[in-house]
Amino acid sequence: MSAVLKTPDTQPELSTEEIQRLDSAHFLHPFTDFKALAAKGSRVMKRAEGVYVWDSEGLKIFDAMSGLWCVNVGYGRKELADAASAQMMELPYYNAFFQTTNVPAVKLAHKLSQLATPIGDRRFDHVFFSSSGSESNDSNLRMVRRYWDLQGQRQRKTVISRKNAYHGSTVAGASLGGMIGMHEQGDLPIPGIVHIDQPYYFENAHSGESEEAFGVRAAGWLEAKILELGADKVAAFIAEPVQGAGGVIIPPTTYWPEIQRIVDKYGILLISDEVICAFGRLGHWFGYQKFGYKPDLITFAKAVTSGYVPLGGVMVGNRVAEVLIEKGGEFNHGYTYSGHPVACAVALANLEVMEKENLVLKVRDSLAPYLAQHFGALVDHPLVGIAETCGLVAGLVLVQDKATKKPFDPDLSVGMICRKHCFANGLIMRAVGDRMIISPPLVCSLAQLDELMGLIRQCLDLTWAELKQLGHV
């Protein structure tokens, strides 16, 4: 028997089947095979609290992905709802185009500039607001090209990114990203964006090569590309501190220092896309602070509001900001919702919760080491080739042969088999090919991490049993 959804008094109650029918009739979901979903029916998420979500059939699910890498303070935080409600009653909206501003946007810009601490000669005193990570990367492209124009170097247009990177789904975001499937469906990337290989040791290292040596070699692909294009043509390099949507690809420790040496040598702007990595995910407010490199622009979104309302933006470093401000005149770029008062009020409440509950240090000093130990131990499972973590993100690779790390035939979609068992057993763990990844809320307790590890093991066992039955292991 299906659960009945309670809707506000003015609306009739809808059964799960009715919601699913209306869903497939009217709602085109992102990154979805519409026809396949219509045949199967969506899972209707109904409510959430802490680290758990409940679907319309009453199944309690451990959300080890924090929604989509964003619900860092967990679900059901009244502080954030109250902030939104109060701001909606006070000033629900006003634009920032016409020489006008609003109090939450100003306070948030100030707060973010304090959290993005200076590093070397970089300061982050300025913020450009948007409503998403994708829009923020569009803003980055606009700002980078404007910067070089104002510097009298109009030929510096090319941005170098990495294969398998994710920088969003707008035309600029998808072009900056390195996802082949996205490029194929829209004649992307647009001109002036090129990609180098990712620093993925497990797949790209030579046999016998150390992680340290591989990190330096992988960074060298940037230098090779700069020399191929001509250094005077290259505007910027964009990268995530840890590649998230690409499967939690954690660079070797030698990678970022070598990248810094290269961008410094050729005077290229460095964009750190921290849509996933900022706001405590790696045990620091921002990812650059963990790895110690010096970005010129920092993309943020998602966890700035813990996903409760849409907000994104770019921390603009002094090198770029000074040129745009001093030499730029009017910057012909912006969004209706740049500095949206409700979104900014929720972000302020969210950051206050994070500070009050010491969530960033909790990740660095407690959750991250615990996860490293216990998630790392999953490598003893017969299906797991490697299991690695960085802060509170983690990824493991499902392999056919542990000894040789032989991968499964991609047509078997082993990651999807594992994901199916996860969902059925009350766990949200994402599959990227045969990499299984997690990014739990920062409010997770150690006991809940134990519970999570138990669920992962159970689902790995079920995947193993199914593959055995099918004769694949």
Ligand X SMILES: Cc1ncc(COP(=O)(O)O)c(C=O)c1O
Residue 112 Ramachandran class (φ > 0 left, ψ -120 to 50 alpha, else beta): alpha
Residues 236-255 that bind ligand X (CB under 6 A): 240, 244-245
Per-residue CA distances from 409 to 180, 380, 382 (Å) = 19, 22, 17
Nearer to ligand X, 67 or 104 (CB): 67
Tokens of residue 225, six digits: 């590309």
Nearer to ligand X, 171 or 216 (CB): 171
Residues 304-343 that bind ligand X (CB under 6 A): 312
Q: According to CB under 6 A, which one of 52, 128, 129, 166 is a site residue for ligand X?
A: 166
Q: Minimum distance between the CB of residue 334 and ligand X, rounded to whole angstroms?
A: 17
Q: According to CB under 6 A, which one of 50, 67, 104, 168 is a site residue for ligand X?
A: 168
Nearer to ligand X, 223 or 240 (CB): 240
When asked if residue 367 is in the footprint of ligand X (CB under 6 A), the reply is: no
- Return the number of other C-beta atoms located less than 10 Å from residue 239's C-beta: 26
Residues 403-432 that bind ligand X (CB under 6 A): none
Per-residue CA distances from 284 to 93, 101, 358, 392, 395 (Å) = 32, 30, 11, 11, 19
Q: Minimum distance between the CB of residue 339 and ligand X, rounded to whole angstroms?
A: 17
Nearer to ligand X, 16 or 131 (CB): 131
Q: Minimum distance between the CB of residue 69 and ligand X, rounded to whole angstroms?
A: 6
Region of 77-85, 164-172, 351-359, 447-455 interacting with ligand X (CB under 6 A): 164-172
- With a CB cutoff of 8 Å and minimum separation 6, the contacts of 352 are 79
Q: Minimum distance between the CB of residue 124 and ligand X, rounded to whole angstroms?
A: 18
Number of residues that bind ligand X (CB under 6 A): 15
Tokens of residue 307, six digits: 């996903």
Q: Name the residue among 128, 114, 69 with its Cα closest to residue 305.
A: 69
Q: Minimum distance between the CB of residue 393 and ligand X, rounded to whole angstroms?
A: 11
Nearer to ligand X, 248 or 275 (CB): 275
Q: According to CB under 6 A, which one of 301, 351, 353, 443 is a site residue for ligand X?
A: 301
Q: Minimum distance between the CB of residue 273 and ligand X, rounded to whole angstroms?
A: 4
Residues 20-79 that bind ligand X (CB under 6 A): none
Tally the C-alpha atoms within 13 A of residue 322's C-alpha that lie toward its C-beta. 8
Residues 117-146 that bind ligand X (CB under 6 A): 132-134, 137
Q: How far apart are CA 84 and CA 87, in angstroms?
A: 5
Determine the residue with CB nearest ligand X.
133
Nearer to ligand X, 244 or 339 (CB): 244
Q: According to CB under 6 A, which one of 156, 167, 281, 284 is a site residue for ligand X?
A: 167
Nearer to ligand X, 154 or 333 (CB): 333
Nearer to ligand X, 166 or 201 (CB): 166
Q: Name the residue among 130, 148, 147, 150 with its Cα closest to residue 139.
A: 130
Region of 41-49, 82-90, 163-171, 253-261 interacting with ligand X (CB under 6 A): 163-171
Residue 297 Ramachandran class (φ > 0 left, ψ -120 to 50 alpha, else beta): beta
Nearer to ligand X, 381 or 430 (CB): 430
Region of 160-168, 260-268, 326-334, 465-473 interacting with ligand X (CB under 6 A): 160-168
Handedness of CA 438, 166, 359, 283 (dihedral sign): positive
Nearer to ligand X, 63 or 273 (CB): 273
Q: How far apart are CA 203 and CA 432, in angstroms?
A: 14
Residues 260-299 that bind ligand X (CB under 6 A): 273, 275-276
> Would you tell me which residues interact with ligand X (CB under 6 A)?
132-134, 137, 166-168, 240, 244-245, 273, 275-276, 301, 312
